Amino acid sequence: MDLVPALERPLKNVLGAATAKVMAEHLGLHTVGDLLHHYPRRYEERGQLTHLADLPMDEHVTVVAQVADARLHTFASARAPRGKGQRLEVTITDGSGRLQLVFFGNGVHKPHKELLPGTRAMFAGKVSVFNRRLQLAHPAYELLNGDPDEPGEAVESWAGALIPLYPATAKLESWKIGKAVQTVLPGVQEALDPLPDALREGRGLVPLPEALVKIHRPQTKADIADARARLKWDEAFVLQVALARRRHTDAQLAAVPRVPRPDGLLTAFDDRLPFTLTEGQQRVSREIFDDLATAHPMHRLLQGEVGSGKTMVALRAMLAVVDAGGQAALLAPTEVLAQQHHRSVTEMMGELAEGGMLGGSEHATKVVLLTGSMGAAARRQALLDLVTGEAGIVIGTHALIEDKVQFHDLGLVVVDEQHRFGVEQRDALRGKGKQPPHLLVMTATPIPRTVAMTVFGDLETSVLDQLPAGRSPIASHVVPAADKPHFLARAWERVREEVAAGHQAYVVCPRIGDEEEGTAKRPPAEDDAGKRPPLAVLDVADQLAKGPLQGLRVEVLHGRMAPDDKDAVMRRFAAGDADVLVATTVIEVGVNVPNATAMVIMDADRFGVSQLHQLRGRVGRGAAPGVCLLVTEMPEASPARQRLGAVAATLDGFELSRIDLEQRREGDVLGQAQSGARSSLRVLAVIEDEEIIAEARQEATALVVADPDLTGLPGLRTALDALLDEEREQYLEKG
């Protein structure tokens, strides 16, 4: 008797080494269970054919279609100079469109015999364009007709009314995956069910073995619906239990409550503010102060629109902790941003940031900056100020996490732009407190509630959705440079007008321009066919300075400049000593120059929706209205243009993030969090399945409160282990 449970058996023991190797390397499938959870992407009905008209370029596709005609041509070539070269052209159709298949050389003999007009088959290959027509070159195929003389094995194995089509690769066609599934499907009866019986029965969900059979071998569409309903619950529930256990464990930790003194540093700071906080800032501050006053660590996600005043809320939380005798650390993803935060915090605090100095206020503390590129003497002094407690607030990059950095009493960690920090970094900083410090995570990319519940389910969420007074609206327009070149000329005129009025402008490009060939970021594949390389900062800056923006002071900023040079450029721009800053996305987060009113984003179709929204938030930060011009060469009907139209049409980041989610696959949205084949969401769609996620969260929370160790649920424990094995521990923390 094999002691390894059926679903944990390695595929190489079941399918043969060659197939197992391809599955492991190209699809991340290692065990029988992995393969059973590799669900069909869609299903073909016999007699109903794929839409050939909708095939995506450059993707590996599987289609079911009928041969319309087949012609063998001979031609002369270098290899076959006497006209002996052979090319077989087969046209297939599905009613919606036609597609050309081509076979060359010795590869023509078998298809020439088999692909006769009227034959039905599955074809798999990469879609390309030749002579302006879509084609598949040398596709793999599987006949579906069955020879009347012999019962075709292919037809037998696809006997179901619905043909499952699997996410496949060039190395392994969909039907080969289907046959492998057929081989392991009998073991499905041993699948341990992660859902508690009461929950499953209460919601009328089918048992797991039945769901797996129905998703791989459905007889009817109702079978598919049953299976998907059940498997969505598995994904939502297992993930929510993992997050609920994390919340439960964190709630058991002890932290030092931090309550500000009634007339200390925070009061002094509020008294010197030249404006009143928005209602939203006041509400969120109250939520944070309530958390800080408890004896277990705060874990809060603060998300807000670009420019909604998150930094002000975070600073008040840091001051409250300093008031209560602790220290606060603000972790920024880049040196430019750390320096920017340090400047704006010290400016906002004035003499309150001059603790221990002449002219400092009696309530003052010291605010230090710590980055990797600081000189040795400045760094030594900063480290000393931290370990003695002289500095109440430290702002820095990941240099803060190094072993040498020690705190007197770390009470609060604020992480800016969460998605750039992995779990190891967050935990390393949290480990620097004598007891776990409170944690506040800020993000300027608004996240729909369900995504927040799926990715940041271990954090309580606060939302800032009002813009502070004095913020100006930003007008956004799409500039179709290919269709209407005069629109682009007008864009540069607009920049000149803003500069003439005493303002400044940004020009953003996707690339720096001095990369090695092939290292440039690849644009999205959807619209990629035949595109030129993305525009580069160095080229564009040069062309603008010599051309449409001649006479203006044009500077460049990008990530590969030395930190001191970057800081010098930012200082000149902030001081008004440069008119136009041509930059990469290094300016995406946190750069604050109120006098900058115009932004031109070149090749805007190469950026994601959230990124465009972030970039746009850099203008309109002062009293003058902002304008953002999205320049693209994509044709009007393309998905890229629709995406840009959506960005131009609304300034609501939450609305945009929903659009973004609906247009991208979940895996992209959950980013690295979804790495690891077994942990990715396969059937659960975070926007469509909001109700399931919310209900799963309630069920999971109740279950974990009643039985934190899940003693009576071996199936659930196994599913959690699969989700949270070593490398996937990060899954819960990487946003």
102: tokens are 């081509």
**Cα gap 731→735, rounded to integer Å:** 9
The packing angle between helices 653-663 and 609-616, to 10°, is 160
707: tokens are 């039985």
Q: Cβ neighbours of residue 220 under 8 Å, at least 6 residues apart?
A: 161, 162
User: CA nearest 453: which of 701, 193, 287?
Assistant: 701
- The dihedrals phi and psi of 123, each to the nearest 5 degrees, come to -120, 140
Q: Cβ neighbours of residue 574 under 8 Å, at least 6 residues apart?
A: 593
Q: Cβ neighbours of residue 568 under 8 Å, at least 6 residues apart?
A: none
**Cα gap 709→717, rounded to integer Å:** 9
**Interval 664-687: pLDDT, tens:** 544 444 443 333 333 456 777 777
For position 521, what pLDDT does the model report? 44
87: tokens are 């090319």
- The dihedrals phi and psi of 422, each to the nearest 5 degrees, come to -85, 175
Strands in 251-333 per DSSP E: 299-304, 327-331
**Cα gap 565→571, rounded to integer Å:** 10
Q: Cβ neighbours of residue 270 under 8 Å, at least 6 residues apart?
A: 316
572: tokens are 């000149």
**With the C-alpha atoms ordered 160, 166, 170, 176, is the resulting torsion angle positive or negative?**
negative
**Interval 286-320: pLDDT, tens:** 999 999 999 998 988 888 876 678 889 999 999 99
**Cα gap 302→281, rounded to integer Å:** 11
**Coil, helix or strand for 541?**
helix
For position 146, what pLDDT does the model report? 53
**Cα gap 82→575, rounded to integer Å:** 74
Is residue 84 within 8 A of residue 77, CB to CB? The reply is no
Secondary structure (H, E, C), 623-670: CCCEEEEEEECCCCCCHHHHHHHHHHHCCCHHHHHHHHHHHCCHHHHC
How are beta strands 596-601 and 580-583 bridged, if at all? unpaired
**Interval 9-35: pLDDT, tens:** 888 888 888 889 988 888 888 888 888
Give the C-alpha distances (Å, rounded to integers) separating 339 from 346, 374, 451, 571. Answer: 11, 11, 31, 10
> What is the DSSP code string of 376-431?
HHHHHHHHHHHHHT-EEEEEESGGGGSTT---S-EEEEEEESGGG--HHHHHHHHT
For position 97, what pLDDT does the model report? 77
Tally the residues of the chain: 735
647: tokens are 């960005």
Q: Is the pTM of this model over 0.75?
A: no
**Interval 469-491: pLDDT, tens:** 666 778 999 999 888 888 999 99
Give the C-alpha distances (Å, rounded to integers) separating 655 from 447, 465, 505, 620, 658. Answer: 9, 12, 27, 20, 5
**Coil, helix or strand for 503?**
coil
Q: Amino acid letter at 403?
A: D
**Cα gap 436→434, rounded to integer Å:** 7
For position 82, what pLDDT does the model report? 63
**Coil, helix or strand for 35?**
helix
Strands in 46-114 per DSSP E: 60-75, 85-93, 98-104
Proportion of the chain above pLDDT 70, given as a percent: 81
Chunked mean pLDDT (size 10), the chain, 735 residues:
62 87 87 88 64 68 84 75 78 82 86 89 82 82 63 44 77 84 86 88 93 91 93 90 86 88 90 88 95 92 79 94 94 85 90 73 87 89 92 89 86 77 64 84 73 70 76 86 89 94 93 59 43 82 92 90 85 92 77 87 88 84 87 84 88 77 53 38 75 89 90 84 55 40
User: CA nearest 529: which of 170, 138, 127, 168?
Assistant: 127
Q: Amino acid letter at 325?
A: G
- The dihedrals phi and psi of 563, each to the nearest 5 degrees, come to -55, -40
